[in-house]
Each structure stands twice: as structure tokens, then as C-alpha cells.
Chain A
């Protein structure tokens, strides 16, 4: 079964600083990987996804993530954080096969942005 680890529960960065949120996954085959963002009181919104091909994927709101198979990682990055980026971020991994594909989420990283 697949699993996802987000080792940082809380991260605080200053506005304008760079950001990297860590995500490590465990899965025996090629995974589908996602990053979602959740603002307070809202559902989850897709930031970006990786299925295959180029290991550096671009998403919305200036975010990008890099898939590193050798490290089983899919870290999320942003060069310059804006105050509106404060939210909770979830990494998720999906199985490659099966109509009943189950998306497994990490426990989330809460991002605080200091002005």
C-alpha cells in the first residue's frame, strides 16, 4: 500500500522568501503525485500533479514541484512567497492501476507567512 510523509507540520516564512515543502512517498511502482492547498474553511484545490515525463512540474500560483525517484520525494517549491499563500498544503500519492484507485494523503504542512 502507498503512503505519504510530510515531515514538517508547521513552517513559517517571511513574505518574499523562498519556500520548500517536503513530501516523501512510498509506493512500489510509478506513482501519481499531487499537491493540494486548503485555505481555512475551504475544500482542497489542486496545485499541480505529476504522472510521467518531465520531473519538474509547474502548477498554479507560481508553485512548482520536482519528482525525484531516487529519493522518493516530490517537494513543493515557490521562489517568492506571498502573504496569500498562507494555508495548509497536502501531498498525495495515487496508485497507477485499478479503477478503484485510492488517493492517499499526507498529514499536511501548515504554512504561516510573516509580513
Chain B
């Protein structure tokens, strides 16, 4: 029973490098989302998707891209990493329906130097 799987768990990047954070879920959830968690700021929504082929911006989308080619996968791309993107990133999914609770992955800790 894998749930939401995020890879990698840890990553260090230099400023200007690019990378993709992977997220996969095996629960056939329509809704998937990416949050970043920073001390004293809680979790802030970056991007979300309500189904394959549909994505939208959240509260802090700048510097991040997403795509949703399949129901299972929702990768988050950093095109040119900046130190301000040092954070812990969480992927979360839920079944269709706005009142369903989110299921979270275990997070990716990203450091940009």
C-alpha cells in the first residue's frame, strides 16, 4: 500500500541548476498538489491538478512548472533553482471532491546553495 511516493528524499542544487521532483500515487486520485513548507509559514500551495491534462497555480507558483500527463504522476520542475527555493516540498493527493482529506507523501528536502 504505497500511497503517495516522493523522490528524491534529499537534494542539494547549485543556483541556476534545474531538477524535477517526482510524485506518484497509486490510489487513482484525481486531485494532486504540491506544497512547500517553510519555518513559521506553514504549508503553501504551489500548483495543483484536478485531473490528467489539467493544472493550475496555487499561492506561490513562481519558479515552478508542473504537468499532469497521467493520473498517477505529478512532477514538479524547477527550471533555474534559487536559494529562496530551499524548502521541504510535499506532494498530496485526494479523491475527486473538495471535502476529501489530502494524503501526503513524506516530502523532499531541497537545499539550493
Contacts and interface: CB of A to CB of B under 8 A. Distances in A.
Q: How large is the interface on B (under 10, 10 to 19, 20 to 34, 35 or more residues)?
A: 20 to 34
Nearest to B106: A43
A28 interface: no
B98 A107 contact: no
B23 to A, nearest CB: 11
A105 B104 CA distance: 14
Interface in B80-113: 90, 92, 96, 98-99, 101-102, 104-107
Given A102-B48, A105-B42, A107-B40, A32 B102 contact: no
A43 B105 contact: yes
Interface stretch (A44-52, A61-69, A76-84): A44-52
B42 A44 contact: no
Main secondary structure of the interface of A (DSSP, over half): loop
B106 A95 contact: no
B45 A102 contact: yes
Interface in A25-71: 32, 34, 36, 41-46, 49, 51
B53 to A, nearest CB: 14
A100 B42 contact: no
B66 interface: no
Interface of B: 4, 35, 40-45, 48, 50, 56, 58-59, 90, 92, 96, 98-99, 101-102, 104-107
Closest 3 CB pairs of A and B: A101-B98, A43-B104, A107-B42
Given A44-B92, A107-B40, 14 more contacts: A4-B42, A32-B99, A34-B101, A36-B104, A42-B107, A43-B106, A44-B43, A49-B99, A49-B101, A90-B42, A95-B98, A99-B96, A105-B44, A106-B42
